[in-house]
Structure 1
Amino acid sequence: MIRKIVTLLFVLSFTIIGKAQDFQLGKVTVEELQEKRHPKDTSAVAAVLFKKGRMELMLSQKHGFMLNTIVKMKLKVYKKEGYQWGVEKIKLYATEKVKEEISFIKASTYNLVNGVVVESKMDDKATFDNRINKFWNQKNIVFPNVKEGSVIEYEYSIKTPFYKRPRDWNFQTEIPVNYSEYKTIIPEFYIYNTITKGFFSPKIDFKLKEKKATLEISSLLRIEEYKEKHTTYILENLPALRNEIYVNNVNDYCSSLIQQMASGDFKIRDEKEEAEQWNKVLQSIYDLEFAKELSQNTFFEQDIKPLIVSLSTPEEKIIAILSYVKNNIKWNGDLGYEAENGIKKAFKIKSGNIGDINILLTSMLIYAGLDANLVLSSTRENGIAAFPVTSAFDYVISSVKTPDKIFLLDASEYNSMPNILPLRVINWYGYLIVNKGNSQKINLVKSESSYKFTSMNFEIAPDGVVKGKLKQQQNNHNAMLYRDYVANENLESYIEKLEIESGKIEIKDYHRENVNELQKPIVEYFSFSGNSLCEVIHNKIYFSPMLFFALKENPFKQETREYPIEYDFPFENKYQINVRIPEGYSIESVPNPIEISIIEDIAKFKFLTKVIDNEIQISVVHQIRESVIKAQNYDLLKEYYQRIIEKQNEKIVLKKA
């Protein structure tokens, strides 16, 4: 992720913008409504014509400083697939004591009817609210009469007392953006650290302006004079933010602006000061959310003590306690690092959110005498934590340090194991919180491979019918994902899908091992037959030795790529294949062996063949050794996959003797 730290007081580093265009609502033209496609992206279903935001830190007589954000948007719908842009969803922080307030100033749809611009204003009934969780509401706005060719305009303002962490401003979105402008107005005595991320850097204009505010203090009116910092950020002609394969969260690479108020006159200047700020935030979370919960360990003592009394090694205790929590406390589906119910209540009702479950797990591990701590993190959906601020996190897991290694644990997922975390939380890094000490940055991206080993023996009849037997083993994340997939699917349905996905084969004698023994690899066995796995032409038989395992298309289709390639985890796929040649046939040709290695052996492919009597032996290995590959290596990786596809689909040719 491209990351830039901008100190707002450092005026000399700013690029001054020339006079901006006058983008105003209510000025929809016939030409805009007649436009059939976006001039720079003809595939676009819609486009943002302009988007303007104004964030002002205002002095309120009643509430002190309040943050007021005004958003103006004008967008164009080109195709039916763009109708989704006729619904706007806005999240609002709301608790029993305090909430953010939103008001719509304008919301209209414009269409061209018989050559005349016709405005359809939003009805009050077209808005409704959803309660997301105990902290967040969602305002939903449905615009009227949206059609192909419509122009939508709206304006709203949000007032909030939470001025320390303004809303992020996304210059980029899933459709092209012609013009995006964001302006901040901040009193001179407040400092906001600012990050711009993404692949496009905004032009910046900075001005200082005089400001007067009237305050009533002890029944006396007092005029305060101070300066305001007016900063404008502008980006134009932004391409659509398109999701691509092997990207955890495309919004991590969205061109956007993120702000966080610095404490006092503090502004982040270097990595050391940033680390210190992280430690302060993490310690405050520990004190507020974790300290009290972790001190409670008597209510589960009668359950945990007999569980571990006969166990001697840290690994045995970790597995026993992790299994106990997974089997007795069910995840209710809610995220959050805070214990929603409190661990004592969660233990009693056998249910809780992520915080309840993993704080309880950590408390039990500490009780067992293990060096256990909590690790704060952010899910893939929430994005990468950019600022040392509590709202950067929405997840917490547990960790145990042994003399040999650190184990990361998540008891919310039944099929997870030590260092085999749910994919939702494998998001770059987390922060291991040590009370009254320096917290540690922990890499959550796995370095240990998950393997899949397939052994397949088959023979081909002269009429082209293939019959064989297969055994497949999977471990680590491969095994976890397999167990998750089959957990709620009956065996008959699973086999039926497997038959279709494997080239309409017929499967018999299917069975599997170790589905519930999580420390062991998953093993599948079955016999198969198929009459569409090879071609018989005259006196020759043509077939790919990998049958239904051969890759058919390259996952990388774009000409260029800006985002890094993010695999869920490193992996190694091995195939050992034995083919029996039918009686009366001989080998005309087999694929030549090949070995491919790129990017210092991060990606490796090996295809070897050997003929012994009337058998052909094929050994295939495909290995990706790191989870994240830089975008600059995209062309190499794309070509690498293309060569794999070509080799895996090469035919063995048998001819009748």
Structure 2
Amino acid sequence: MKQLLTAMLLVAFTLTGNAQNHKFGKVSKEELEQKQHAIDSTASAAVLYKNENIYFEFADEKGFMQRREVHERIKIYDKEGFDYATEKIFLYRGNGGSIERLSGLKGYTYNLIDGKIQKDKLKKDGIFEEDANEFIEINTITMPNVKEGCIIEFVYNVTSPFLGIDDIVFQYSIPIDKLDLRIASPEYYVYNKKVNPRAFYYPDIKSSTENKSATYKKTVQNNQASRSVKNYSSGSFEYKVNVLTANETDIPSLKGEAYAGNMDNYRAKMSLELSAILNSYGAVEKSFSSNWENVSKSIYDGSDFGNQLNKSNFFKDDIATLMASATDDFQKGFILQSYIKSKVKWNGLYGFRTHKGTRKAYKEGEGNVADINLLLIAMLRSQGVNASPVLVSTKDHGVPLFPTRKGFNYVICMIESQDSYALFDATEMYSMPNVLPQRVLNWQGRVIKDDGTSRWVSLRPTGKAKGSTALNVKINDDFSVNGKVRRNITDHLAMSYRKRNTGISDDEHRKRLEKNNGDIEVTEVEYQNGTNITEPVKLSYNYALNDGIDEIGDNLYFAPMLFMATKECPFKLEERQYPIDFIFPFEDKYMINIMIPEGYQVESLPESGIFEFKDGESKFTYRVKENGNFLQFNIALEINTSFINSADYKVFKEFFEMIVEKQSEQVVLKKV
């Protein structure tokens, strides 16, 4: 009976929700009274309604101009949803002064106060403009008087001289109750449509055509005997419009979880690629359709890319001495990468095109990604090394759906020698050959050879990063614990640790080691090889722990990994539509020596065991040994394949839950 009543209430709510007035400004008390989302009770906010209307209008002297009208209404349930009261609108600039313009921006925040709807208007002090770079202006709107339970609503228009249509996003990190989309483009512009194949929500997109007419007025210059006279001619023309529509309801949120990578790779979205421009007779006037081979070659042929690889006179004398001791190509790569790191600072800007050019970046000591990594390739080529650029789409840029220059936003270096290769990125202070920053480790990159040919190359690391920890444990008379930790880490684990901790004070380092580890006090921290990237990171410290032992009667209970144990499984969802991405393979080992306190003996110990996922793709080893007055534990987790498919999620989740459970098993010591 309870289940039937719940279902009836849900249907009633859905019918009521679908009958809501979506007109701007017509927010209802029922919407404001909602305490939680009807379908997703965990949602901190929800899009009650979104309307996006994209179309083209003909303008005299300008031709077709793109218009984008947006109306959005969002319900905020709790403080975690406050972030959705901020909206960013991106406006693009092109060459020759072409620019997108924002107009018609209006917004309100609605609160229910003593049973009455209170409206707070978006004012100028809630609108901020900033230049992200020379091509993008960001308008950020921050809604006023945001409270738990409020509704925010805004509308705006963007007028664009560009034919490119931004990706259409169908799915947020919060649920969407209703979404209406309409895209109408003139028959002269041919767009290829592609919906993200990695998404697990697939919208129903309908296609149709309409007839439309437009008028024009054209200036005609007549030169008469003694003066110039302007005349005007006018007329009209008819054309077809290709229309795409989607009317979706109850779009589920895209829930992030541990080790998911860039969630945008799995978001329901649609890309529209301008493939051709037709003339009035329907013939192709200009074609944009391409493949990755052509895209790569067009990038390489640019003066801000391939041309930069042939410039060497400005650095040749500087690197001559450095190269005298190099014995092979990979060593040359490491030496020159280290030299560039010390010589040219990365300004934080991405891009596969140089911003300053390699010569200017070298002289000024600063540049973007392309300035730095193309400089590295140029130096290597000047030394006879087979070095090539690799185009990359970073993790936050996503995986491109079409072959287009916009699919890439980064470039790194590849050295090929004797049937093997290594990847380099000189922008990252702590990177090594084949140890690239995590922002780059996104599936695959496109390597371009100097003859213009190109191919895909995997960016996923194959070598394992390793961590090794020795933990000594002494149980005191008051049942506090103290001892020493020694830890060595390599490769990507070491790079991540260096980025977080190199350069901070000893006191701050100590506080970070204590954080979230219970009632622990850390002293005598020694941190070695923070900047010496050719050696493993070495860390040691003493600790004192006051809450590691439970005394119950005559027995002592404790988990042998103490504060180093994984407290809970990071994988919470019962089902997961997207894979687990650990980014790189790794191995983490613990060697624990526990001194049995005087007057106690072992009552029981966790059992030794080895647990595997998919024939050793992941492996957990737990070995226990009693050796006189000491207990010795050897515990290791090996993630040999960093990418776990969604089809294997449930099995891997069980495997990881077993690891957490095993780490929580307790040693029991009995008083003699």
Q: Give the structure-2-normalised TM-score.
A: 0.87
1:130 aligns to what?
Answer: 130
Change in 2 beyond 3 A, CA 1:619/1:279: same
Letter in 1 for 2:161: P
2:291 aligned counterpart, secondary structure:
helix
1:95-152 CA-to-partner distances (Å, cap 9, x unmatched) read: 5722111112543344455655555443345423111122211112233444444433
Change in 2 beyond 3 A, CA 1:275/1:410: farther
> Could you tell me whether the CA contact under 8 Å between 1:283 and 1:435 is conserved in 2?
no
Tell me, yes or no, if structure 1 residue 403 matches structure 2 residue 402: no
Letter in 1 for 2:207: F
What's the offset of the Cα at 1:77? 3.0
1:346 aligned counterpart, secondary structure:
helix
Cα distance in structure 1, aligned partners of 2:80 and 2:470: 45
Change in 2 beyond 3 A, CA 1:507/1:70: closer
Cα distance in structure 1, aligned partners of 2:162 and 2:600: 79
Change in 2 beyond 3 A, CA 1:331/1:193: same
1:561 aligns to what?
Answer: 576
2:211 aligns to what?
Answer: 210
Cα distance in structure 2, aligned partners of 1:310 and 1:637: 48
Counterpart selection for 2:300 from 283, 286, 291: 286
1:152 aligns to what?
Answer: 152
Letter in 1 for 2:573: Q
Change in 2 beyond 3 A, CA 1:79/1:542: closer
Cα distance in structure 1, aligned partners of 2:653 and 2:189: 48
> Could you tell me whether the CA contact under 8 Å between 2:340 and 2:372 is conserved in 1?
yes
2:456 aligns to what?
Answer: 441
1:10 aligns to what?
Answer: none
Tell me, yes or no, if structure 1 residue 247 matches structure 2 residue 248: no
1:384 aligned counterpart, secondary structure:
coil
Cα distance in structure 1, aligned partners of 2:217 and 2:618: 68
Gaps of 5+ in 2: 1-17, 221-232, 279-287
Letter in 1 for 2:300: Y
Change in 2 beyond 3 A, CA 1:581/1:22: closer
1:384-434 CA-to-partner distances (Å, cap 9, x unmatched) read: 222222222221111111214221111111111111111112122221122
> Could you tell me whether the CA contact under 8 Å between 1:355 and 1:395 is conserved in 2?
yes
What's the offset of the Cα at 1:563? 2.1
2:603 aligns to what?
Answer: 588
1:24 aligns to what?
Answer: 23
Change in 2 beyond 3 A, CA 1:593/1:57: same
> Could you tell me whether the CA contact under 8 Å between 2:390 and 2:414 is conserved in 1?
yes
Cα distance in structure 1, aligned partners of 2:33 and 2:516: 46
Cα distance in structure 2, aligned partners of 1:116 and 1:541: 61
> Could you tell me whether the CA contact under 8 Å between 2:290 and 2:404 is conserved in 1?
no
Cα distance in structure 2, aligned partners of 1:507 and 1:80: 35
What's the offset of the Cα at 1:34? 3.2
Change in 2 beyond 3 A, CA 1:292/1:636: same
Q: In the TM superposition, what are the counterparts of 1:286-325 in structure 2 within 5 Å?
A: 286-288=300-302, 289-325=304-340
> Could you tell me whether the CA contact under 8 Å between 1:341 and 1:356 is conserved in 2?
yes
1:234 aligns to what?
Answer: 247
The worse-fitting range, judged by mean Cα deviation, of 207-216 and 441-450 is 207-216
1:363 aligned counterpart, secondary structure:
helix
Cα distance in structure 2, aligned partners of 1:34 and 1:510: 54
1:38 aligns to what?
Answer: 37
What's the offset of the Cα at 1:516? 2.6
Q: In the TM superposition, what are the counterparts of 1:413-432 in structure 2 within 5 Å?
A: 413-432=428-447
What's the offset of the Cα at 1:329? 0.9
Cα distance in structure 1, aligned partners of 2:327 and 2:523: 45
Cα distance in structure 2, aligned partners of 1:317 and 1:349: 24
Cα distance in structure 2, aligned partners of 1:546 and 1:143: 48
Letter in 2 for 1:161: P
> Could you tell me whether the CA contact under 8 Å between 1:599 and 1:633 is conserved in 2?
no
1:553-599 CA-to-partner distances (Å, cap 9, x unmatched) read: 11112222222111132111112223333344332211111111113
2:535 aligns to what?
Answer: 520
What's the offset of the Cα at 1:458? 3.4
Cα distance in structure 2, aligned partners of 1:642 and 1:510: 32
Counterpart selection for 1:485 from 500, 515, 518: 500
Q: Give the structure-1-normalised TM-score.
A: 0.89
Cα distance in structure 2, aligned partners of 1:599 and 1:238: 34
1:650 aligns to what?
Answer: 665
Counterpart selection for 1:473 from 488, 498, 503: 488
2:463 aligned counterpart, secondary structure:
coil
2:202 aligns to what?
Answer: 201
Cα distance in structure 2, aligned partners of 1:207 and 1:418: 53
Q: CA RMSD in A?
A: 2.7
Tell me, yes or no, if structure 1 residue 224 matches structure 2 residue 237: yes
> Could you tell me whether the CA contact under 8 Å between 1:128 and 1:141 is conserved in 2?
yes
Q: Report % sequence identity.
A: 36
Letter in 1 for 2:84: W
1:229-279 CA-to-partner distances (Å, cap 9, x unmatched) read: 1111232101223221112222222211111111468xxxxxxxx996111
1:261-317 CA-to-partner distances (Å, cap 9, x unmatched) read: 11468xxxxxxxx99611111211112231221121110111112211232211210
The worse-fitting range, judged by mean Cα deviation, of 346-355 and 488-497 is 488-497
